[in-house]
Chains A and B, each alone.
Chain A
Amino acid sequence: MKVTFVETLKNYGIILAFFIILVVLSISSPVFLTVNNIINVIRQTSIYGIMAVGMTFVILTGGIDLSVGSVLGVSGAICAGMLKAGNPIWLVVLATLGVGIACGFASGIFITRARITPFVVTLGMMSIARGLTLIYTKGYPISGFSPAFRQIGGGYILGMPIPIIIFLVIVIIAYIVLTQTKLGRYTYAIGGNEETVRLSGIDSNFYKTLVYIISGATAGFSALILTSRLNSAEPVAGTGYELDVIAAVVIGGASLNGGRGSVWGTFIGSLLIGVINNGMNLLGISPYFQQVVKGLIIIGAVWLDQLRAKED
């Protein structure tokens, strides 16, 4: 009996925690369970939820990408700068994604060719991208965009906020890629045992680089939404987001050792983080204290993962 309880906790602990938090918040805050608030939560969630999807690929290969917050910053800044210069929106969108992709590509190359650990490379990229953002913006926000661009973060399609639509589409695409394509299978395989993959004649470096590119691209998407929604590119935009992003993936059941995890897990993990953030705000918990809680959540999630890993 006791064993089954522990097993259940290990496997479904996340969903359980999710519901407990939902119930507690519904009781303690009258605002929480309103349609407006729920849509608001998901819309906020979408910004790092999208990056968490990219991060899922990276973590599945056994890597990590600490640079996503800063890459969001630099993509957003360039997005804003190009809008101000009067470029058409489609070009701005491509360029914003392109900046994210370029950052991911650079990280991937250093990780696979120079054989530096992902932790160090992306830590470096985190600083580089933030530095570039500050250089480009000279430390000032770039704000005030056309209404058309502001639709990306603030608009609706059939009553559904556009950021949520983008988030869901990316989740679905990622799910298909991970389950139905070569890239997906190799992503899991590399995280499980890269040596075997290489000895099977597969270019593991190519696929590893690709996952950092995906992570960079998702940071580009998030940059578009955030910049549009705030009607401004802040030089410090995205600072510290990597924490929420990694937390969402890990809470979603991905193993930091690679090889295990899923997009659905990450989706739930992102919502959980969103709900916790929102709930703590509604309950008037100080932002300082919120940081402590989030730190504890990350440690707890990794601990759960260790418990699961022990069985293997």
Chain B
Amino acid sequence: MDDIVLSMKGISKSFPGVQALKSVDFDLKKGEVHALVGENGAGKSTLMKILSGLYRADEGEIWLKGKKVTTRGIKAMIDAGVSVIYQELNLIRQLSVAENIFIGREPMLPGGLIDWRKMYSDVRTLLKPFNIDINPRTKVYMLSPAYQQVVEIAKALSLKSDILVMDEPTAPLTGNEVDKLFEIIHNLKGNGVSIIYISHRLEEIPKVADRVTVLRDGEKILTKPLAELTNAEIIKHMVGRTLTEQYPKISIPIGEEVMRVEGLSKKGYCSNVSFSVRKGEIVGFTGLVGAGRTEIMQTIYGRMKKDAGRIYIDGKEVHIHGVRDAVRKGIGLIPEERKHQGLVLGLSVQDNATMTILDKESVFGFLKQKKLNALVGKMIEIMNIKTPSARQLVRYLSGGNQQKVILAKWFLRNCKVYIFDEPTRGIDVGAKVEIYKLMQNLAKEGAGVIMVSSELPEVLNMSDRIEVVFGGRIVKEFRRDEADSETVMEYALGLREKTGQQTPLVAGAES
């Protein structure tokens, strides 16, 4: 048929150490809503960034309305009618609705002044079909997330876009607002706009989508009309990978409890979280991005002030009022944001690795250089950190080796509990296996390990116990032998939630 408005053929893209997309085909028909689903890291965002012109594909072609796209770049794609509405809305909060919609192309009066009257009336015309009362002069920060989204959509339409990409559009919205959004999507379809709809919330898909494409590990698994799919099938395709990666799980005798968390709450982030970690145990925390896993860990670590809850280490309650307390009590955090939170890129391997032990290894502030040199040398050897010397700046190491430097920093400190947040993200397969082994060595030496991860296979294969987080709460705990990927995913997606009440997600929860 002739109604294909967009077709992406054989798109491949790799980043250092990761093949993000492998020859993916994707097409979009006029007036259709095409849902794009997949786990975190499946390649959805990368594919859309290629479509929007932000990334350049290594291989593959993009055809728009029967014409091959030759000029790339964000501007060219917008001109060609493609607009992306990102998860974090791209509006300037201090400017008005009208200014945001017409930014960069304000209607002008002769003499270089802005034609405000025309701008406001144009905005009113644009917003009319949405049936929503928004004053064009209102500052964007005063609008609810739902209204902000409408402004984004209106902006896209004013750009004469007929292909809209919506990345997790319902994440910040409440129930009513979601219905409203679906209504808008329905109307847009009727006007011949085609929409690519990305969402983690599988229950929404049947309400809006005409077709569904599942991505997994950078590959397209299938594209089918919605009518031919059930939710269960979608989930199966999302997670059902063959385990080609290695998970060197060894059996470690589990000892007594080393840390217990009771009723931990932080308004807008997590509520009533309780769990424990024992010596020699790896406890996996999984859930979707934004479910609150990282926030739970940051609260335990004293980075965010908790509203309620108790934390026990070795059976004794500890009072953590800041990161320093947590570190003193024997907790180490290997953060998700390696470069921003784990390393000082402009410092050497040695300076980074010894950062946590300078207190111990100095006399009146003077460093015991020889001892530090020896310790770092040992770490480089044990952890197999590939670096020309301990003086090399960590900036120049690969992701896997950078991660090892962060591990070294905490190993040297001999923590009781190690919290790994997405320990293997962006790390190539070989280094992953090494990280898993190091993690188990810690457990073997009697530490408790918490592993926060979005990668289900990693969680399923490396954990002794699995906590599933949804909406800031632990919704389910699995023993290692009880967990299978489909069930875990259903809990992570919130499909097995008994209570209809959801704790607000992180975004916009305070407003």
Contact = CB atoms under 8 A, between A and B. Distances in A.
Interface stretch (A144-152, A182-190, A240-248): A182-190
Contacts of A180: 366-367, 369
Interface stretch (A36-44, A191-199, A219-227): A191-199
Contacts of B395: 312
A192 B344 contact: yes
Given A182-B365, A183-B365, A202 B355 contact: yes
B362 A182 contact: yes
B346 interface: yes
A196 B344 contact: yes
Interface string B298-339: 000101000000000000000000011011100001010000
B234 interface: no
A198 B369 contact: no
Given A197-B355, A201-B323, A192 B341 contact: no
> Chain A interface mostly helix, strand, loop or mixed?
helix
Contacts of B10: none
Contact of B324 (A192, A203, A312): A203
B345 interface: yes
B347 interface: yes
A200 B369 contact: no
B343 interface: yes
A193 B344 contact: yes
Nearest to B329: A201
A260 B367 contact: no
A202 B324 contact: yes
A188 B344 CA distance: 9
Nearest to B359: A182
Contacts of A192: 344-347
A199 B341 contact: yes
B365 A189 contact: no
Contact of B345 (A186, A193, A199, A201): A193
Given A182-B362, A200-B356, A195 B340 contact: yes
A183 B359 CA distance: 10
Interface string B337-376: 0001111111100010011101100100111010000000
Contacts of B362: 181-182
A259 interface: yes
A180 to B, nearest CB: 6
Contacts of A181: 362, 365-367
A202 B358 CA distance: 10
A203 B358 CA distance: 12
Contacts of B356: 200-202
B323 A185 contact: no
A200 B342 CA distance: 8
Interface in A73-116: none
A196 B341 contact: yes
A199 B369 contact: no
A202 B369 CA distance: 19
B409 interface: yes
B367 A199 contact: no
A312 B346 contact: yes
A263 B431 CA distance: 39
A199 B409 contact: no
Contacts of A185: 351, 354-355, 358, 367
Contacts of B345: 192-193, 312
Contacts of B340: 193, 195-196
A198 B344 CA distance: 11
A202 B335 CA distance: 16
Contacts of B327: 200-201
B355 A189 contact: yes
Interface string A156-195: 0000000000000000000000001111011011001101
A188 B366 contact: no
Interface string B195-215: 000000000000000000000
A30 to B, nearest CB: 46
Contacts of A193: 340, 343-346
Which 10 residue pairs across A and B have the least CB separation, nearest first? A201-B327, A192-B344, A192-B346, A193-B344, A181-B365, A259-B346, A182-B358, A200-B355, A189-B344, A201-B324
Given A180-B369, A181-B367, A189-B351, 12 more contacts: A180-B367, A183-B365, A186-B358, A192-B344, A192-B347, A193-B344, A193-B346, A199-B323, A199-B335, A199-B341, A312-B346, A312-B395
5 contacts: A181-B362, A182-B358, A189-B347, A198-B323, A199-B342
Interface of B: 301, 303, 323-324, 326-328, 333, 335, 340-347, 351, 354-356, 358-359, 362, 365-367, 369, 395, 409
